[in-house]
Structure 1
C-alpha cells in the first residue's frame, strides 16, 4: 500500500504593496497679467529711445542723436519721457492682451514645447490680430504717438495733450468717435507682424538653443534668444511701423488714409522711407525685447517659488 503523501505546508508568500505610478499633476497656468507687467517695466526703461523712433518716423527728424538733442533742447530732459502715461496704458492693455492671447493661441494650434516655427508664427499672428484690434479702439497707440511727437512740432501746430486720458477725450470731442479707429488696419497688421516675429522667434530660438550643449534654461539663454528675436522683429515690422506712426500722427485735415500716406511718402522719399528710424527702432527694441523676456522669465520663476512655498503645484 503506497504511503499517502501529506500536503506540504503552505509557504508564506511575500505580499508586495501595490506600486502605483505617481500621478502627474497638471501645472497651473501663470497669471495672465505677467506679460503686461514685464512689458511695462521694459517700456519705461527704454521710453526715450521709443520717443526718438516715433519722432523720426512721424516728423522727419534725421539722426538719432540729433533727434535726442532736439528733444532736450526744446523740452528739457523731462521731455525724454513725453507720452509715458500713454506707454503705460498701452503696455497694460495691448501687451497684456497679446501675451495672454499668444498662450491661448498656442493651445488652439497645438504648439507645444518643440513646436515648428510655422505653428508658433501662426499663434503669434492670431494673438497680434486680437491685441491690435482691442488696443486700437481705446486710442492707446494714437494717444501715445501723438503725445510723443507733439513737442517735435512747431508751437503753433502742437496739440498740447496733458496726458493720455486728456488725449482720448479731446480726440473724441474735436475729431469725432471715428478717430478712435484711425489706423486700425495698419495697427492690426503691424501687431500681427510683431507678435509673429517677436514672440514666436523667442520661443523658437530658445527651444533651439536648449537643444545644444552650450545652453541651459537660464538668463544667458533668455538674453541670446531675445536678442535674435529683437533683430528679426525690428526688420519685419519696420515698414508697417513707419506707416502706422505717420497715419496716427496726422490730423483729420492732413489726410490719414493708408494709401494717401504711402503715395506721399513714396513720392517724397522713395521706398527706403519704410526703414526710416530702423537704427533707433532696433536700438530701442533690442533692450526692450531682452528686458521683456528676461523679466517675464524671472516673474515666472517668482510665481513658481511662491507656489512652492505655499505647497502648491
Structure 2
C-alpha cells in the first residue's frame, strides 16, 4: 500500500517579528489637570501660606498659619480654593498635555538623550504660562486678599467674580498682568519638575532596587519636587508680588526687582522657600502618584471594554 501523497505539511511557526504589537492608545489629555487639581486641593493651606509670606510682611510659616486661623478660622486656610481650581484646570491641564505633545515633536522617547526632556518642559511651560495666566492671577489675588488691610482688599466672591471684575474694573489687559515672570516661572517649573520626574524615574528603573510601582513614583517625585522648588523660587516670588500689585506702574517687573533688592537684598528671591518646598513637595508627590493611578485606571477600563 503506497503512502498518501496529499498529506498537509505542518504549519510554519509564526515569527515574533511578524506579529504586530498593537500601539498603546494615548491617555486622555485632561488626566494631568485632574491629578493636579486633586493634589492642589489637599495642599491648598500650604500654598495659601506661601503666597501670603511672599506678598506680605509675615516672616515665618507657622506664624502666618496661626494668623490666618486667628483672623478667619480654620476655614480661612481654604480661602481662594476656587482660584486654585481654575488655575489647575487651565495651567496644569495645558502643561501636561503640551509636555507630552512636545516630547513627541522633538523625539524625547525612552532612549533619547536626557537633555530633550527639559527642552520639552520649556516648550510646555511657555504655552501653559500664557494660557494659564488669568487663572494664576485670580488664584494669587484670592489667596492673598485677607493678608491685606481691609481697605486694600479686592473682596472677590469666587474665581469667576474675580475674572469678570478684573475685566470690568481694570480692563482686559489686566489678565496679562505679570505674564513675563509667570511664563518664565512656568518654563522653569516644567523643565525642572516634569523633566526631572521623567529623568529620575527612568534612572531608578535601571537599578535592581525599583520597578514601575508606587515606591519608584514616590522617590522620583520627591527628588523632582526639591529640584523644582529651588529652580523656581526667584520667579515665584516676583510673580506673587507683581500680581498682587494694584497701583498704576506698580506691576513693572524691573520696579519690583529694584525695590525688593533695595529693601531686602538678594535674599528676597528665596523668601518663602521653606513653605514653597513644604507645599510643592507634597503637591509634586500627590500629582504624580495620582497621575500614575489615573493612568492605571484608564488602562483597567480599556481592558474592560470601555474608556474613561
TM over 0.5: yes
Aligned with residue 288 of structure 1, among 280, 283, 287: 283
Compute the displacement of 1:23 (Å).
1.4
Compute the displacement of 1:73 (Å).
1.1
CA root-mean-square deviation: 1.6
Query: Structure 2: any 5+ residue segments left out of the alignment?
Result: none
Q: For each residue in 1:141-190, what CA deviation from the matched residue of structure 2 results, as whole angstroms up to 9, or x when unmatched?
A: 11110110110111111111111111111111221111111111111110
In structure 2, the residue matched to 1:22 is: 19
Q: How many Å separate the matches in 2 of 1:83 and 1:272?
A: 28
The reply to whether residue 55 of structure 1 matches residue 64 of structure 2 is no
Which secondary structure state, in structure 2, belongs to the residue aligned with residue 179 of structure 1?
Answer: helix
Which secondary structure state, in structure 2, belongs to the residue aligned with residue 143 of structure 1?
Answer: helix
Q: For each residue in 1:65-120, what CA deviation from the matched residue of structure 2 results, as whole angstroms up to 9, or x when unmatched?
A: 00001111111111100110010011111101100000000001101123332100
Q: For each residue in 1:181-225, what CA deviation from the matched residue of structure 2 results, as whole angstroms up to 9, or x when unmatched?
A: 111111111000000000000000000000000000000000000
The reply to whether residue 84 of structure 1 matches residue 78 of structure 2 is no
Compute the displacement of 1:18 (Å).
3.9
Are the equivalent residues in 2 in contact too, given 1:234–1:281 (CA < 8 A)? yes
**Aligned counterparts, 1:255-270, within 5 A:** 255-270=250-265
Which secondary structure state, in structure 2, belongs to the residue aligned with residue 253 of structure 1?
Answer: coil
In structure 2, the residue matched to 1:210 is: 205
Are the equivalent residues in 2 in contact too, given 1:175–1:252 (CA < 8 A)? no
The reply to whether residue 113 of structure 1 matches residue 110 of structure 2 is yes
Query: Structure 1: any 5+ residue segments left out of the alignment?
Result: 1-7
In structure 2, the residue matched to 1:272 is: 267
Q: How many Å separate the matches in 2 of 1:114 and 1:230?
A: 24
Aligned length: 303
Aligned with residue 140 of structure 1, among 109, 131, 135: 135
Q: How many Å separate the matches in 2 of 1:17 and 1:276?
A: 73
Q: How many Å separate the matches in 2 of 1:66 and 1:253?
A: 32
In structure 2, the residue matched to 1:151 is: 146
The reply to whether residue 300 of structure 1 matches residue 300 of structure 2 is no
Q: How many Å separate the matches in 1 of 2:264 and 2:120?
A: 35
Q: How many Å separate the matches in 1 of 2:301 and 2:46?
A: 35
Q: How many Å separate the matches in 1 of 2:54 and 2:249?
A: 16
Are the equivalent residues in 2 in contact too, given 1:114–1:207 (CA < 8 A)? no
**Aligned counterparts, 1:112-191, within 5 A:** 112-136=109-133, 139-191=134-186
